[in-house]
Amino acid sequence: MDGEECEALEKLVYMWGYLPGALPQRTPLLTPFRVPVSGYNWKDVSGGGCGFAMAISEPGKLITWGSTDDLGQSYVTSGKHGETPEPFPLPNEVSIVKAAAAWAHCVAATDCGEVYTWGWKECIPSGKVFGETLSGVSPEKDAQGKQGSFLTEQGGTVSGGEISTKRRKVSSAKQAAETSSSGDDILTAMPCLVTLNPGVRITSVAAGGRHTLVLSGQVWGWGYGGEGQLGLGSRIRMVSSPHLIPCIDSSSYGKDISASLSQGSMSSEGQNFRIPGSCIKAIACGGRHSAVITDAGAVLAFGWGLYGQCGQGSTDDELSPTCVSSLLGIRIVGVAAGLWHTVCTSADGDVYAFGGNQFGQLGTGSDQAEVLPRLLDCQSLENVNVKSISCGARHTALVTDNGKVFSWGWNKYGQLGLGDVIDRNIPSEVTIEGCVAKNVACGWWHTLLLAESPT
């Protein structure tokens, strides 16, 4: 498509699911609703976290909306923007190319390879802070006060994930903060520029429940690592600055790193073969696990494994990046991760899914967990090539190369966009008239779609 054709197509953003501040009535959107453009030309969608949405405008501004003060932390993390999409307050000269958000922290990469992050202090490394300076306790001390409410969600003990339950939990943490001498300062860090090694240029970012990965061809991580989601070979609870995660060949990262890792410092040694590839091309963060793809199309996963979300045929945690060996020979090009599940797309346009499946989020036609990757061979995806895929907390959505949208999984709040609140365990097509889907990005309880109008 040439430049003139691109200019003739209007880019649109649609949303559906639960975004409490996006509409005056604060009720779930069961079908796709076009986001008011407010003078912006959309460039991409970035999902958003708990209760808010994020997208990127053509000039590279991060646009946020849908937050509300009764969800506590998300109100601050999203920039306190409600019904009207507005630029998040980053430095004026910054041009954002990639962004991600989790429960209560955000991360964004600029066109010059820098990284900004903000939200829960325990998720934020030291760096140059923009905006007002906040006082508060250390991330380690701060983490103890918030673990109770967050780990209930992360640990899978909330059977239905009721939003009213989440709202009470977050609000209780907020109330506790408000009664302290520092107020909300304890919980929140303003946007900061992350300090990385000289010459490191970040091209992509991913946000997990309480951890962050960024990509420069190599993978860097920080935040909470108690289940191995930082891939450093141990259950390190808190990493307060970016650390290089050895994913392919430990010798290329130096003996000091490989020596510091416990038992068989990386997966290639433990599995007695060299992982295909020379660099990492894509990253994803789940609630408490991570996954990456090499340039040769191999998948590595690490972190919490209770539901099989690391794809190793077991429910063990993986403390180091471990090759998903059953996918070797299939060139994987895309990966996404939810609270308890992982999905991958191949160069052939197929979808493979593994992990938790309580709400049908794997799309296999059942609610049975899968500890090994399973090819989705349902009728709805026959003769379909997948272009992009994304995971919410417990739902999944994809866009095909011919501009169609499919979703499946948890649907209590309309996050599948199918006009009802019935869960689906197979991919179901989302109807959006008059436009062609280009990319999809799931938040925890909602879905965003970037589309083009063929007018």
| Domain residue ranges of the chain, discontinuous segments joined by + | 202-377
Q: Model-level pTM? A: 0.83
Other C-beta atoms closer than 10 Å to the C-beta of 366 total 12
Summarize pLDDT for 173-188 with one digit per residue, the tens. Answer: 333 322 222 344 456 7
- pLDDT of the residue at 141: 32
Tokens of 371: 């500890």
Residue 254: alpha-carbon gap to chain centroid: 30
3-class DSSP state of 149: helix
Res. 1 pLDDT band, cuts 50 70 90? very low
Rounded mean pLDDT of 302-312?
Answer: 98
Q: Taking all residues of the chain, what is their mean pLDDT, rounded to a whole number? A: 82
- pLDDT of the residue at 76: 57
Q: Is the pLDDT of residue 149 over 70?
A: no
**Nearest-angstrom CA–CA distance, 209 and 224:** 9
Tell me the sheet residues that pair with 440: 449
**Residue in the block written with tokens 């869960």:** 423
Cβ burial 287-318 (10 Å sphere, 16+ → b, else e): bbbbbbbbeebbbbbbbbbbbbbbbbeeeebb
Q: Which fold has domain 202-377?
A: Methylamine Dehydrogenase; Chain H (2.130.10)
- pLDDT of the residue at 104: 83
- pLDDT of the residue at 129: 60
64 touches 54 (CB < 8 A): yes
Percent composition of the chain: helix, strand, coil (DSSP 3-state, to 5) = 15, 35, 50
